[in-house]
Chain A
Amino acid sequence: MRGATHAQWIVCAVAAALTATACGGGDGGGGSGDAGAVLSASWGDPQNPLEPANTNEVQGGKVLDMIFRGLKRYHPETGEAQDMLAESIETTDSQNFTVKVKDGWTFSNGEKVTAKSFVDAWNYGASLRNNQRNAYFFGYIEGYDRTHPEDGGEQSADTLSGLEVVDELTFTVKLSQKFSTFPDTLGYAAFAPLPQAFFDDHEAWVAKPVGNGPYAVDTYTKGSQMSLRTWEDYPGDDAAQNGGVDLKVYTDNNTAYTDLIAGNLDLVDDVPASQLKNVESDLGDRYLNTPAGIIQTLAFPYYDENWNRSGSEKVRKGLSMAIDRDQITETIFARTRTPATDWTSPVLGEDGGFQEGLCGEGCEYRPDEAKQLIEEGGGLPGGRVTITYNADTGSHKDWVDAVCNSVNNALDNERACTGNPVGTFADFRSQITQQKMSGPFRAGWQMDYPLIQNFLQPLYYTNASSNDGKWSNNDFDEFVDQANQETDTAKAVGLFQQAEEVVRDNMAAIPLWYQNGSAGWSERLSDVKLNPFSVPVYEQIKVS
């Protein structure tokens, strides 16, 4: 990129061939922190149309994070939810909230951001008619069951009865139950405000989204590139330190990495596993590997009798103790994973509910005790287990095989554990939702917002949205309910930790490791950071 035309490119190639001189991009520059310079970064094609309430994967989320600012924003380093557009969010009972929006914010098309921008956007997101993948985020707001009937019934309302615009910059939210940490969830992209332009000409908006963040979309060619440029009149205090970002779609992160090494790309935010051994020599200190809010676990099918009888918790704990997490994270993941010792993530921090070592001996490698525990618990169902995973992405095959190896060694049985690959992610997911699993299966969880609630409730609460194993425990549910009613944050976190202890005592799922985010960048860039969602903090990057 960087302005080299194709003719120049050929000349370069010829010149290089003749004189063996390097023919870089010719970007020139020098000095540090050119606020007008544009950087190029790797990107993947978003899976769903780019709308705030319709984007649930990292690639689309990246863009939303650049072009939108919501009521709250998670601090790029600490993950703490801080007021962004919110002047104040007040409640007396953890159920009725009054939200005041800061004055002076506009969308990049000039429209003012008002209370209505939020209420309209949330109503749109919650309405079943609009097919929004993230609609469940509005599930706590009163009236959701009428705009989004879960039982497949007829939609009887278009707007959420719990939302009410008071004046231009104030609106109230009524929840259907107490939820003390509700304000902290509002940093999630699904809660972003939408301009009237979105509703007036939806097709045009999706083709070129307009938001209120530090960047504005300049051009968007679906499937190949999105050019974002710094929005000059951005009113926030986190304005971009560079001129813009060109997001380029790569089909393979290996190619992106090659392009970075060759000097054609500035930023790669997913260093391929196969390159990890070269990354030090290739990039030196221009490489980052930090924990993200992602945990990998093995879930169990509790709808299967074998895994839901008394004593089976011993079998699960035994399996967990048969896994040598240290060795696997080192040899297979080159330390880009950290062995898990609880069911949340280090990005939450101590105050947020992360508790190192909560899992205790259950997550330590103790092959002898593992074998004994499994025998006490009645042995593996049918004498063996299979671990189901999808083989199309990631390096799931590698670690599942390693986990099985570790289990087989601990149990002294070559055939105790085998992997069961499923061809595509879609098929894997559909087998899970149809409850066809007969043994443990891969379960990854990437947090929506950095709250301990988000690591526990969606996964282990009875019939929760991502409780794929259908685990159900009254004690756990009770603690979660209490925590949600607790207005004092510290106390709420304590109650969630008690709930987590219930998960531990039953070994509801085996925690494997926390996943890191990685990034590599060119010499032009400085101040590259990854936020707790493992997305680069684009607006802070300086380009020279």
Chain B
Amino acid sequence: MGRYVVRRLLQMIPVFIGATLLIFLMVNVMGDPIAGLCGERRCDPATAAQLEREFGLDKPVWQQYLTYMGNLFTGDFGTAFNGQEVTELMATAFPVTIRLTLIAILFEIVVGIALGVVTGLRRGRPVDTGVLLLTLVVISVPTFVTGLLLQLLLGVKWGWIRPSVSSEAPFDELILPGLVLASVSLAYVTRLTRTSIAENRRSDYVRTAIAKGLPRSRVITRHLLRNSLIPVVTFIGADIGFLMGGAIVTERIFNIHGVGYQIYQGILRQNTQTVVGFVTVLVLVFLVANLVVDLLYAVLDPRIRYA
């Protein structure tokens, strides 16, 4: 187990370096960021040169990358064009997005798995068909449509919520955006759980458990569900990173100043430091989430062992 974790952690290093290098190159391909800094007007050459020097843009890309990585290990993520430290931006953006992601994940786990269990146990019944249809609708409608529609109905027409989230972005204001963000994944979780439950319901160990006279609830939670969760856990694990990075649409609709907003701004203003900094952290989140998922397998199914 220990050796497995160490090996996995070591594998992260090349993935991490490769990912950051790719992003660094991609942002650099987009052209000269200084050119956009002075609006419709050309920056005067002397100021432009001075700014380039300040942001280290006058050096070749490989050297910029090395300097960047060097600084990274001392916790220096560089400075955005408006003079703010990127770490400062992260300190304000990440807590918000983490709250949003937490709510989304909670929805996925609680609602998604519950619905999946219910439908999986009642295959072919009206409940099952109903939920299947509903999830199909949710999957096929794009997030921004759901988001804008709910915002209009709940926020403007009925006045139940505020259409935009305040800058503090507390949990209660994030419930609706969280649900919108989770919606598509939620539908997938439901469907995955349903199939998995329906399949395992006929397996030998479930029949044995029932034959032993165990109470139905125990059979379902300890035996059936536990074994059926492996594909679901894999999905949710991968989804954490996806939700954090993919929140751009939801964050825009509800005016949430989180990670998606910062990355979007960074790309528009072609701010290498912001984009690379945020994506670097997201890559780390992705890698760690994947590791946790892999470790969870063993908890769910003891037959899976790590050498």
Instruction: Tell me which residues from 430 to 447 in chain A have a Cβ below 8 Å from any Cβ of chain B.
Output: 430-434, 443-446
A173 to B287 CA separation, bound complex (whole angstroms): 62
Please indicate the chain A residues that have their CB under 8 angstroms from the CB of B265 in the complex: 45, 251
Task: Check A258/B155 contact, CB under 8 A, given A128-B47, A423-B30, A424-B267.
Answer: yes
Q: State the Cβ distance, B150 to closest chain A Cβ, in Å.
A: 12
Q: Are A56 and B257 in contact (CB under 8 A)?
A: no
Q: Are A47 and B253 in contact (CB under 8 A)?
A: no
Q: Does A466 contact B (CB under 8 A)?
A: yes
Q: Does A132 contact B (CB under 8 A)?
A: yes
Task: Check A426/B32 contact, CB under 8 A, given A6-B173, A45-B265, A47-B82.
Answer: yes
CB contact between B83 and one of A49, A250, A446 (< 8 Å): that residue: A49
Q: State the Cβ distance, B235 to closest chain A Cβ, in Å.
A: 29
Q: Does B70 contact A (CB under 8 A)?
A: no
Q: Does A57 contact B (CB under 8 A)?
A: yes
A297 to B267 CA separation, bound complex (whole angstroms): 26
Q: Which residue of A lies closest to B169 (CB)?
A: A224
Instruction: Tell me which residues from 29 to 71 in chain B have a Cβ below 8 Å from any Cβ of chain A.
Output: 30-47, 49-51, 54
Q: Which residue of A lies closest to B50 (CB)?
A: A131
Q: Does A306 contact B (CB under 8 A)?
A: no
Please count how many residues in chain A sit with their CB below 8 Å of the partner chain's CB atoms: 71
CB contact between B268 and one of A48, A56, A392, A434 (< 8 Å): that residue: A392
Q: Does B172 contact A (CB under 8 A)?
A: yes
Q: Are B41 and A16 in contact (CB under 8 A)?
A: no
Q: State the Cβ distance, A461 to closest chain B Cβ, in Å.
A: 13
* Stretch from B100-108, B156-164, B182-190 that touches the partner: B156-164
CB contact between B30 and one of A6, A9, A426, A445 (< 8 Å): that residue: A426
Q: State the Cβ distance, A445 to closest chain B Cβ, in Å.
A: 6
Please indicate the chain A residues that have their CB under 8 angstroms from the CB of B221 in the complex: none
Q: Are B255 and A426 in contact (CB under 8 A)?
A: no
CB contact between A249 and one of B32, B49, B257 (< 8 Å): that residue: B257
Q: Are B41 and A466 in contact (CB under 8 A)?
A: yes
A37 to B257 CA separation, bound complex (whole angstroms): 27
Q: Are B163 and A9 in contact (CB under 8 A)?
A: no
Please count how many residues in chain B sit with their CB below 8 Å of the partner chain's CB atoms: 58
Q: Does A468 contact B (CB under 8 A)?
A: yes
Instruction: Tell me which residues from 145 to 178 in chain B have a Cβ below 8 Å from any Cβ of chain A.
Output: 151-152, 155-156, 158-164, 166-167, 170, 172-173
Q: Are B83 and A443 in contact (CB under 8 A)?
A: no
Please indicate the chain B residues that have their CB under 8 angstroms from the CB of A468 in the complex: 42
Q: Does A275 contact B (CB under 8 A)?
A: no
Q: Does A234 contact B (CB under 8 A)?
A: no
Q: Are A46 and B82 in contact (CB under 8 A)?
A: yes
Q: Does B223 contact A (CB under 8 A)?
A: no
Q: State the Cβ distance, A257 to closest chain B Cβ, in Å.
A: 10
Q: State the Cβ distance, B152 to closest chain A Cβ, in Å.
A: 7
CB contact between B160 and one of A16, A56, A392, A423 (< 8 Å): that residue: A16
Instruction: Tell me which residues from 111 to 153 in chain A have a Cβ below 8 Å from any Cβ of chain B.
Output: 128-129, 131-133, 135-136, 148-152
Q: State the Cβ distance, B95 to closest chain A Cβ, in Å.
A: 13
Q: Which residues of A contact B (CB under 8 A)?
A: 1, 6, 9-10, 13, 16-17, 20, 22-24, 45-49, 56-57, 128-129, 131-133, 135-136, 148-152, 206, 221-225, 248-252, 255-256, 258-259, 261-264, 392-393, 423-434, 443-446, 458, 465-466, 468
Q: Sort A-B residue pairs by CB-CB distance and give the 7 closest, nearest first.
A: A426-B36, A224-B167, A430-B35, A430-B32, A427-B31, A429-B35, A426-B270
Selected A-B contacts with CB under 8 Å, 12 pairs: A24-B159, A46-B82, A47-B82, A150-B45, A223-B84, A223-B92, A258-B156, A262-B159, A426-B36, A430-B34, A433-B42, A466-B42
List 15 extra interface pairs beyond A432-B42, A466-B41, CB under 8 A: A13-B160, A20-B158, A45-B265, A133-B47, A152-B46, A223-B89, A249-B257, A250-B164, A255-B253, A255-B255, A258-B152, A425-B268, A426-B37, A432-B35, A433-B42
Q: Which residues of B contact A (CB under 8 A)?
A: 30-47, 49-51, 54, 81-84, 88-89, 92, 151-152, 155-156, 158-164, 166-167, 170, 172-173, 251-255, 257, 261, 264-265, 267-270
